[in-house]
């Protein structure tokens, strides 16, 4: 009886029931698709870089640790990558161009790895981390070097800018399971690598921790050290290659390390740290003062003097008062302003975009006072001719890299010739830095510029040696 009623019900409402079932299935499917999409979205948020087509560090850690657990017999390394001078490129060419370049670098990173067993991730900005597999260590290093060169060349082809690629590597040991620590070690190696104008690779090893401790100790010592007595000026000649006459010099700071029995250390040992702490400002004025003392002494002795250039950190131009302090020191020793030149690097205007107005007004006021500005290392980074508009320079120092670069020599020479001609137009003198060989001298003559500074003539020397060279020349040129 009940069965008959049920069949009757089905006959009466059959279509409605089928419709109801179809709606339920469609709704179920829709919910499933939305959930799937959300899961995709969530996964994307968790594991993909927010703006580029590449994994993020979370993914590398999470998925990488899974790989390590499942492929215990294979060897892996973490490679941290940083693109040198990217910050300047971004500031110089704008955010959009910076993003385009980053997209391109991401694609290079993605292509460098085997996606089946390796991972490329972006940490932030121009920082990347790769999890890579290796069998033979030397083969692996060759692979990394080739990749590094490829990245640098590709960036140059795209942007016409030489941007060094720095890499820090940590080779995972069998017992390493924690990729965060591995990334940390690779980053520490990268920290040591990224201080140079050229590509660099540093491999982390256990002695590295000791090295980092030493750096820490050194920084503590540098914090405490008194400037007077520990920082001295060395001098390097600037020579007219037509006559071999010393026509000037550059003062280069040196540190007498009390922890090493007064051993002399070059600026790489302490300048980057003092640029961070700000102490470089007082050291630069101390060097200027040493130069003025030396000139005063020679004037009083009736001896020959030449203009000396002094390096000034970009930090001086971040605040007011530089021209005043500069003039005070000149006055104290009674030195004419034509005898001290101010060397600043060409990147000053690029790196400090936010402070351009203030820097420009300081530089203009120096120029008005008749103080000679020298653009150091011109051509080493982002040299744009706009620099001349912003820095009213009397001297342009062509960077050593022009002479080092053996690739496409003809093109380099054409560029240098162009800069020399522009210098002439602007009534600025060009000085060639890092002149080491006969061939460098030949190139200088070819591009018609004649003031050289480099090991070919002399290395930076203590004051007494520099003075002796000046005395010798005075005799030679007067007789």
Contact between 290 and Mg ion per CB under 5 A: no
Binding positions for Mg ion, 365-384, rule CB under 5 A: 376-377
Of residues 311 through 330, those in contact with Mg ion by CB under 5 A are 311
Strands 231-240 and 200-203: unpaired
Query: Nearer to ligand C2E by C-beta: 50 or 268?
Result: 268
| Closest among 69, 96, 76, 33 to 183, alpha carbons compared | 76
Q: Which of Mg ion, ligand C2E, none does 351 bind, CB closer than 5 to 8 A by kind?
A: none
Shortest Å, Cβ 141 to ligand C2E: 26
> Which of 265, 436, 471, 474: binder of ligand C2E (CB under 6 A)?
436
> Cα–Cα distance between 440 and 409 in angstroms, integer?
12
Please, which residue, 168 or 379, has the CB nearer to Mg ion? 379
Q: Which of 126, 346, 376, 467 binds ligand C2E (CB under 6 A)?
A: 376
Contacts of 236 (CB under 8 A, 6+ apart): 249, 250, 252, 453, 458, 459, 460, 461
For the chain, how long is the longest CA-to-CA vector? 139
Q: Does 267 bind ligand C2E (CB under 6 A)?
A: yes
Phi-psi region of 461 (alpha: psi -120 to 50; beta: other; left: phi over 0): beta
Tell me whether residue 132 or residue 280 sits nearer to ligand C2E (CB atom).
Answer: 280
Q: What is the phi/psi pair of residue 218, to 5°?
A: -60, -40
Residue 120 CB, nearest distance to ligand C2E (Å)? 35
Q: Is 253 in the site for ligand C2E (CB under 6 A)?
A: yes
Quickly list DSSP for 309-368: EEE--GGGGGSTTHHHHHHHHHHHHT--GGGEEEEEETTHHHHTGGGHHHHHHHHHHHHH
**Angle value at C-alpha 454, between 449 and 456, nearest 5 degrees:** 95
118, 284, 343, 346: residue in contact with Mg ion (rule CB under 5 A): 343
Of 271, 359, 375, 428, which one interacts with ligand C2E (CB under 6 A)? Answer: 271
User: Which neighbouring-strand residues pair with 132?
Assistant: 77
Distance of CA 381 to the CA centre of its chain: 9
- 147, 377, 388, 443: residue in contact with ligand C2E (rule CB under 6 A): 377
From Mg ion, ligand C2E, none, interface partner of 271 (C-beta below 5 to 8 A by class):
ligand C2E
Query: Contacting ligand C2E (CB under 6 A), which of 306, 460, 466, 470?
Result: 460
Alpha-carbon span 419 to 402, nearest angstrom: 12
> What are the residues binding ligand C2E (CB under 6 A)?
236, 252-253, 266-267, 271, 280, 284, 287, 311, 313, 343, 376-377, 433-436, 453-455, 460
> What are the residues binding Mg ion (CB under 5 A)?
311, 343, 376-377, 433
């Amino acid at each position: 009886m009940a069965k008959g009623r049920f069949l009757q019900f089905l006959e009466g409402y059959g279509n409605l029931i089928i419709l109801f079932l179809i709606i339920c299935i469609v709704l179920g499917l829709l919910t499933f698709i939305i959930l799937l999409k959300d899961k995709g979205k969530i996964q994307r948020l968790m594991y993909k870089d927010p703006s580029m087509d590449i994994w993020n560090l979370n993914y590398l850690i999470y998925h990488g640790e899974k790989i390590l657990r499942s492929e215990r017999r294979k060897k892996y390394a973490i490679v941290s990558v940083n693109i040198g001078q990217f910050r300047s490129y971004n500031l110089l060419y704008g955010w959009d161009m910076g993003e385009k370049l980053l997209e391109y670098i991401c694609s290079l990173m993605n292509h460098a790895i085997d996606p089946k067993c390796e991972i490329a991730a972006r940490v932030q900005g121009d920082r990347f981390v790769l999890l890579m597999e290796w069998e033979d260590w030397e083969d692996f290093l060759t692979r990394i070097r080739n990749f590094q060169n490829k990245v640098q060349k590709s960036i140059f082809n795209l942007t016409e800018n030489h941007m060094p690629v720095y890499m820090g590597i940590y080779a995972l040991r069998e017992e390493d399971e924690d990729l965060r620590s591995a990334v940390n070690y690779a980053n520490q190696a990268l920290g040591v690598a990224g201080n140079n104008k050229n590509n660099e690779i540093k491999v982390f090893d256990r002695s590295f921790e000791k090295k980092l401790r030493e750096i820490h100790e050194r920084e503590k010592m540098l914090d405490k050290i008194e400037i007077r007595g520990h920082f001295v000026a060395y001098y390097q000649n600037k020579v007219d290659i037509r006559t071999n006459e010393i026509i000037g010099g550059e003062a280069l700071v040196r540190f007498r390390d009390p922890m090493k029995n007064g051993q002399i250390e070059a600026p790489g040992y302490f300048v980057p740290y003092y640029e961070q702490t700000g102490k470089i400002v007082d050291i630069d004025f101390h060097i200027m003062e040493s130069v003025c003392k030396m000139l005063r002494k020679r004037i009083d002795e009736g001896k020959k003097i030449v203009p000396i250039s002094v390096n000034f950190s970009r930090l001086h131009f971040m605040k007011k008062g530089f021209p005043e302090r500069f003039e005070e020191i000149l006055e104290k020793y009674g030195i004419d302003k034509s005898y001290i030149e101010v060397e600043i690097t060409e990147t000053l205007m690029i790196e400090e975009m936010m402070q351009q107005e203030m820097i420009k007004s300081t530089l203009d006021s120096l120029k008005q006072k008749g103080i000679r500005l020298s653009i150091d290392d011109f051509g080493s980074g982002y040299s744009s001719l706009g620099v001349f508009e912003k820095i009213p320079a009397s001297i342009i120092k062509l960077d050593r890299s022009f002479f080092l670069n053996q690739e496409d020599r003809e093109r380099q020479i054409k560029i240098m010739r162009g800069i020399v001609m522009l210098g002439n137009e602007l009534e600025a003198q060009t000085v060639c830095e890092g002149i080491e060989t006969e061939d460098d001298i030949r190139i200088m003559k070819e591009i018609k510029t004649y003031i050289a500074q480099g090991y070919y003539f002399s290395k930076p020397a203590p004051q007494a040696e520099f003075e002796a060279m000046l005395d010798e020349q005075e005799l030679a040129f007067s007789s």
